[in-house]
């Protein structure tokens, strides 16, 4: 069995669903169920004995130690985190608690458990830490893409907290020999993405007839990867990655934000035309920029392709079509996720962003 943390969030839940669709190895899913955790995403596993859900915090040392001792997992995959950059700017405290202190406590519990293993069980154990390309900082337009040896230059409280967690993971390998692996991935998109993030926010706002808030000049570049390709990369790293290794994961798919928004508008024009016959592009609104906004991320994913044979299956064209269609087909999931807490966040975040 494996222990997954943060498995009720966007990527973690996609990972758990894909994992159990592919094999019968059980999953213990430890998730605090913050605003970003959503049991509805896991509804299809409700009666499934292969999925053991535990509501709890990765920073709860006693709980994690007990779960490890009772279930004896062969691996831990750490997705749990505070993940939204804008929230880290307005209130960084939770990012420090979960991403740094929480990862530290999780590592300590895992170290205790792994220290008590022996023989093949000990040799085969793995701790996979799911991290981000944002730890590397921002690139100029002509700079080469991030490789695994690019220096760390995090610029937001979110990326600084993820960088700190990566350093702790690295230190547990160097100091204690813990068999850790780290993945640094680019921007994911796909089903079950919480609508505070660019792509689902734009789809949902467009359909609701609301403005599509593009930060600054909209020319910030991100490298987009379909979430199921990220999940397959993590499976490859778990099964074949070398302990202590770091793997960059990306979609070879750099695009400026405004192009992403225009693509979403064009797909909605095709699938669900506006009643007035105009394009959803009419709703695009340039707003105040994110403070300290990183200009460009780009991932060089050649190491994972060369060493583990992984590469993405989806192109952006196929992945974004599937994503827009998924949101159109799942209005209930969307409306339930737009809770009171979510509405409050949207109101605060976009209150003073009158068209720039
Ligand atoms: P998310 O915000 O959608 O989900 C995070 C999950 O972690 C939620 O279910 C939440 O309830 C849970 N959680 C938060 N604090 C916890 C705690 N203290 N203990 C236990 N559970 C807790 O995030 P996501 O987009 O699915 O990202 C998952 C991981 O992948 C994160 O570590 C993130 O840094 C990393 N990542 C995300 C992206 C992306 O584009 N979304 C890209 C690269 C890396
Ligand atoms: O690069 C990987 C990272 O990608 C992950 O580590 C993070 O967890 C994930 O949230 C994501 O971070 P970003 O800040 O890149 O994602 P976000 O969807 O918030 O924003 C994507 C881009 O779109 C970014 O340049 C900001 C811009 N944006 C975002 C929102 C929410 C807008 O222009 N308008 C918006 O309303």
Does residue 236 have its Cβ closer than 6 Å to ligand 1?
A: no
Distances (CA, A) of 117 to 25, 105, 128, 180: 20, 19, 18, 15
Cross-strand pairs, 181: 128
What would the mean pLDDT of 177-191 be, rounded to a whole number?
Answer: 98
Q: Which residues are catalytic?
A: 133-134, 158
User: What distance in angstroms lies between residue 128's CA and the mean position of ligand 2's atoms?
Assistant: 23
Q: What is the largest CA-CA distance in the chain?
A: 68
Tell me the per-residue pLDDT of 314-341, one tens digit each, with 9 for 90 and over.
999 999 999 999 999 999 999 999 887 7
Tell me the per-residue pLDDT of 37-59, one tens digit each, with 9 for 90 and over.
999 999 999 999 999 999 999 99
Tell me the per-residue pLDDT of 191-200, one tens digit each, with 9 for 90 and over.
999 999 999 9
Give the angle 120-126-131 at the CA atoms, nearest 5°. Answer: 170
**Would you place residue 352 in the very low, low, confident or very high pLDDT band (cuts 50, 70, 90)?**
low
Does residue 9 have its Cβ closer than 6 Å to ligand 1?
A: yes
CA distance 252 to 229: 12
What are the extents of the domains in the chain? Answer: 2-355
Q: Which atom of ligand 2 is nearest to the CA of 199?
A: 18
Tell me the per-residue pLDDT of 100-137, one tens digit each, with 9 for 90 and over.
999 999 999 999 999 999 999 999 999 999 999 999 99
Does residue 187 have its Cβ closer than 6 Å to ligand 1?
A: yes
According to the model, what pLDDT value does residue 281 have? Answer: 98
Tell me the per-residue pLDDT of 267-302, one tens digit each, with 9 for 90 and over.
999 999 999 999 999 999 999 999 999 999 999 999
What would the mean pLDDT of 72-85 be, rounded to a whole number?
Answer: 98
Looking at the structure, give the CATH architecture of the domain made up of residues 2-355.
3-Layer(aba) Sandwich (3.40)
* For residue 88, pLDDT beyond 60: yes
Q: Which ligand is nearest to the CA of 161?
A: 1
* For residue 354, pLDDT beyond 70: no
* For residue 303, pLDDT beyond 70: yes
CB 268 within 8 A of CB 207: yes
Q: Which ligand is nearest to the CA of 98?
A: 1
């Amino acid at each position: 069995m494996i222990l997954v943390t943060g498995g009720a969030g966007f990527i973690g839940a996609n990972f758990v669903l894909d994992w159990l669709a592919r094999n019968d190895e059980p999953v213990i899913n430890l998730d605090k169920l913050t605003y970003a955790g959503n049991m509805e995403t896991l509804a299809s596993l409700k009666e499934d004995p292969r999925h053991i859900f535990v509501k709890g915090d990765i920073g709860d040392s006693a709980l994690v130690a007990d779960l490890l001792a009772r279930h004896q997992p062969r691996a831990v995959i750490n997705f749990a985190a505070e993940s939204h950059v804008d929230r880290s700017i307005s209130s960084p405290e939770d990012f420090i608690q979960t991403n740094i202190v929480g990862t530290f406590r999780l590592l300590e519990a895992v170290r205790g458990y792994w220290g008590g293993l022996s023989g093949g069980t000990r040799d085969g154990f793995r701790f996979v830490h799911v991290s981000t390309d944002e730890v590397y900082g921002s690139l100029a337009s002509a700079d080469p893409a991030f490789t695994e040896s690019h220096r760390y230059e995090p610029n937001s409280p979110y990326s600084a907290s993820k960088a700190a967690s990566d350093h702790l993971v690295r230190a547990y390998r160097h100091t204690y020999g813990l068999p850790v692996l780290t993945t640094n991935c680019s921007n994911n998109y796909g089903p079950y993405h919480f609508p505070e993030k660019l792509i689902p926010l734009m789809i949902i706002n467009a359909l609701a007839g609301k403005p599509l808030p593009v930060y600054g000049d909209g020319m910030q570049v991100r490298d987009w990867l379909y979430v199921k390709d990220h999940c397959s990369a993590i499976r490859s790293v778990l099964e074949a990655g070398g302990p202590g290794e770091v793997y960059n994961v990306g979609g070879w798919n750099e695009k400026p934000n405004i192009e992403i928004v225009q693509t979403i508008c064009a797909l909605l024009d095709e699938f669900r035309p506006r009643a007035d016959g105009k394009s959803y592009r009419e709703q695009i609104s340039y707003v105040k920029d994110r403070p300290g906004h990183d200009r460009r991320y780009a991932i060089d994913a050649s190491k994972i392709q060369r060493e583990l044979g992984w590469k993405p299956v989806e192109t952006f064209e196929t992945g974004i079509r599937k994503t827009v269609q998924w949101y159109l087909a799942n209005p209930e999931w969307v409306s339930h996720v737009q809770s009171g807490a979510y509405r409050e966040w949207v109101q605060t975040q976009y209150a003073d962003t009158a068209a720039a």
